[in-house]
A and B are shown apart, each in its own frame.
Chain A
Amino acid sequence: MSEGRPLGVYLHIPFCLRKCSYCDFLSLPTPLFQPYLSALKREIELYQPLLSERELVSLYIGGGTPTLVPPPELNDLLRKTGVSSSAEITLEANPGTLTQEMGLRLTQTGFNRISLGIQSLRNWELETLGRIHNALEAKEAFWIARRSGFTNINCDLIFGIPNQGKGDFLLSLMEMLDLAPEHLSLYALSLERGTPLARAVASGQAHLPNEDEVAEMYEAACQMLCSAGFEHYEISNFARPGYHCRHNKIYWHSGEYLGMGLGAVSFLDGTRWKNTRRLDDYCFRLERGEFPTTSRIGKRGMAALREEIILHLRTSDGFREQDLRTRYPRAYARMQQCLEELKAEGWIEEENGRWVLPERHFFVSNQVFVRLL
């Protein structure tokens, strides 16, 4: 392990047993594991020079459904990146796929954090979402993770599901708290074009709760989690003290990360780039020893500053004026007036040079962000 600059690493596993009704992420139904995993390993090898000169602070394997990958293969991936046990090493898991045997293998392999896509603890909501597990299976998955030795567990919950009332959601949340996870991510359901759920809503088969109802769910959840001792450290994320997700914080605090796998995105040296989203293209290019990269976007000046401000303001830490001023002296001067205006109107707050978006405005953050554009 070298003492280089910190780096986060993301590996994408784009396979699912079945696509959920609300999902527009890159996931494929056919588990063409072997060729894909070989290609992914090759990609990791291509980045070896970079990986060896950086300090890997986090490794995150997401999907899709990474738990479809056999543990020995996951072990291989981990070893290839050279990640050390001091890093945060997370695996995303679909509760419907996690067995006790597998859980134990995962902790043995070196995973020290697991993120469970529980989404809801009401069976009919899980059906609406097209999940492959029911509420009991979801809880079982949690216990399996705990028994396997995971001391840092995240659970994803979705709210604003069709026909969901505030009470339904809070019930899921309370049962969730009984399980005592270290971290919770709460996402307002967003309808993505072309998904079965979007079609069901458009045709009137599913009825979405309105803006006020969804806002009330969020506000009630914030309160409940605050009294349960969670810190609301990002718009959608809550954690017990000391359990903030290091990997995601890299994204929000404009840290550098390397994404590998189909459609994965990287951000290094001020440049974002993206891998191809086509499986055959991905495998083919890696077979020939080429990087599977497609678009590259380098942002400078105002554009880069705006993006940083917006990402930082998503977190309760906000940003330190001095940091951004130093890195973007001219752009920051131009941005100043807009920030001062928003401050005068009470949308953002500033104390001792630290700017934050107060929690009460988290749920209308776009209204603030749009004004920064």
Chain B
Amino acid sequence: MQERIRNFSIIAHIDHGKSTLADRLLEATGLMTERNQQEQILDSMDLEREKGITIKAHPVRLEYKARDGLNYILNLIDTPGHVDFTYEVSRSLSACDGALLVIDATQGVEAQTLANAYLAIDLGLDIVPVINKIDLQVADPERTRREIEEILLLDAGEAILASAKEGVGVPEILEAILHRIRPPGGNSQAPLRALIFDSYYDPYKGVIAYVRVVDGSLRIGQSIKMMATGQVFEVMEVGHLRLGLVPQPELNTGEVGYLAATIKSLSETKVGDTITDADRSAVTPLPGFRHAQPMVFCGLYPSRNEDYPELREALQKLALNDASIVFEPESSPALGFGFRCGFLGLLHMDIAQQRLEREYGQDLVATAPSVGYKVFLHNGEEIEIDNPAKFPPDNQIDYIKEPFVKAMVIVPQDSVGPMMELCQGRRGIFRNMEYVEGYRVILTYELPLAEILLDFYDQLKSRSRGYASLDYEFHEYRQSNLVKLDILINDKPVDALSYIFPAEQAYQHARKALFKLRKAIPRQMYEVVLQGAIGSRVIAREEIKAKRKDVLAKCYGGDVTRKMKLLEKQKKGKKRMKRVGNVEIPQEAFFSMLKIDSSE
């Protein structure tokens, strides 16, 4: 039976055609027609698409009749394609034996191609390179082939030429999955070992865990134990993942599927944990994988203070489906009660905020994202700080460490200069430069993560006319000379606007930040004075003049109703603003600190 199963992923850089290829595979194996008949399932897929993260986040079981006349089971385990979710790519890959590495023939190897390929190679997966978009005029499959060999050190001789859009190469890909990716190993007689590689919360069934059965089998009614937590559950339901959940009596060695066992919270089923039989326990758990640590933190506050309990509830619900979000209550003199939330990266943060607003109807004010710092005090104490407002006074601080990432940028040769300038300006430490195929360059830098939050990605794209691609991973904590910039509005410090900058750039940054802040805060009833201060020293100042014109011209009988509506609308516009003292601060203002290009 295991001989007839293949578990694989598709990995690619953004926009290289991963989703289109996945759709073609679904069509070629007959799942798409099934999809057309099941509109409800399609709807739930649409909803997921709406949520923004990758669509087929859940695995799909394909049934394929091969050229040899036999029927095979192909489990496609999809991966998200953004640097924030590298960690999720690695956990999806842990459940696979091989991967299709899709590369756009018009673009060649990009940063995430490289990062994802390395992940797959490290996990010992069988890799099948697919050169996609060969139907396009500007496609250069030969150059792409050479890049695969030169950069990825993979044999590109057997790379499949494809156009997922046109359906070219799809039959060859299906056959290659059978012949070039090994069937799952594992011992069907051994005690159960199943890897949890993802999970979500269903209000009716509790936690639904996606599992790969490595040894033994998983049956309804079986008593199972989570090897990391030791908790025991009874299996209520197992099954295959088609377009929805398809219940089965059992899952056998090598199979991928889902499991429900009235598990109440995601914390009881750690993704990466090994499930075993409670009565016949395995001795050693599966390797699992490193847990994602939140890298980026921000404060989320309700626009109106009285909505705090509602926000807490919304966050709790959100975290049920996204275990990588962490949050804890915090309070700010300026913003009132809210939550400090940790995310995998900026995109992850945006998605979470969007979901809170759209799905849970929250009216939020988010503070500028910050990284986590390790602060070492003179008294020998070490504290971790993820909120600039909470920095201890300068005279208590011995030194500070901040997170550095290892960043890889792939750029066309003619943009190398501007790119190095950018990285250098962002306190980057040059590590390596490699020429590929004579016209592209792989740059490796160690960069403070905080600099990447400061508009780095947009700068990267604009300085390379859109051609540069970026990937990074956490490297280490490193000592830096940092200071806290406080922002005062009408002489009152607004803690939520505090930000950490490198000491040597504090002055320029303060001026730029205040300039952006002035632009972001609309003129209002009173004059507003903005000041930037380090400790008690004011180093920058801006003024926002009081509003001078805000009037409804004609206001005759005929249009009273309309004018009242205009006023109501104006009032609504204030909703996403936070009132600090007598100043209305719009959401964008909290992000002003991020809008400065520190390498200018």
Contacts and interface: CB of A to CB of B under 8 A. Distances in A.
Interface of A: 8, 10, 187-190, 211-212, 214-215, 218, 235-236, 248, 250-252, 257, 259, 263-265, 267, 272, 274, 297, 307, 310-311, 314, 345, 347, 362-370, 373
A347 B556 contact: no
B558 A364 contact: no
8 contacts: A211-B549, A214-B548, A215-B549, A259-B558, A310-B567, A365-B551, A365-B552, A367-B524
A257 B557 CA distance: 8
Interface in B510-556: 523-525, 545-556
B574 interface: yes
Nearest to A307: B564
B548 A363 contact: yes
Given A367-B524, A369-B567, A373-B567, A214 B549 contact: yes
Nearest to A210: B549
B552 A251 contact: no
B549 A251 contact: no
B567 A366 contact: yes
Given A364-B525, A367-B525, A370-B567, A188 B557 contact: no
A147 B556 CA distance: 29
Contacts of A363: 548-551
A211 B523 contact: yes
A347 B526 CA distance: 11
Nearest to B547: A364
A272 B561 CA distance: 8
Which of A8, A307, A314, A370 gathers most chain B CB within 10 Å?
A: A370
Contact of B550 (A187, A310, A364): A364
Prevailing SS type, chain B contact patch: loop
A236 B553 contact: yes
B568 interface: yes
B78 to A, nearest CB: 44
B570 interface: yes
Contacts of A214: 548-549
Q: Which 6 A-B pairs have the closest CB atoms?
A: A215-B548, A251-B557, A366-B550, A187-B553, A265-B558, A364-B550
Contacts of A345: 525, 582
Contacts of B524: 367
Contacts of A188: 549, 551, 553
A148 to B, nearest CB: 25
A189 B553 CA distance: 7
B290 interface: no
Given A265-B561, A311-B555, A311-B560, A364 B567 contact: no
Interface of B: 523-525, 545-561, 564, 567-568, 570-571, 574, 582
Given A363-B548, A364-B549, A364-B551, A370 B556 contact: no
A362 B557 contact: no
B297 to A, nearest CB: 34
Nearest to A369: B567
Given A362-B551, A367-B547, A370-B574, A250 B557 contact: yes
A82 to B, nearest CB: 20
A307 B571 contact: no
B522 to A, nearest CB: 11
B278 to A, nearest CB: 62
Nearest to A267: B557
A212 B551 CA distance: 13
Contacts of A310: 564, 567
Contact of A307 (B545, B560, B574): B560
Contacts of A264: 558
B570 A366 contact: yes
Contacts of A370: 567, 570-571, 574
Contacts of A366: 550-552, 567, 570
B552 to A, nearest CB: 6
A250 B568 CA distance: 23
Nearest to A265: B558
Contacts of B557: 8, 10, 250-251, 257, 259, 265, 267
B107 to A, nearest CB: 37
A348 to B, nearest CB: 12
Contacts of A369: 567
A311 B564 CA distance: 10
Contact of B568 (A215, A314, A365, A373): A373
Given A212-B548, A367-B525, A190 B553 contact: yes
A88 to B, nearest CB: 14
Nearest to B562: A265
Which of A250, A251, A345 gathers most chain B CB within 10 Å?
A: A251
Contacts of B550: 363-367
Nearest to B523: A211
Contacts of B552: 190, 365-366
A347 B525 contact: yes
Nearest to B555: A314
A212 B523 CA distance: 11
A309 B114 CA distance: 66
Contacts of B574: 370
A218 B549 CA distance: 9
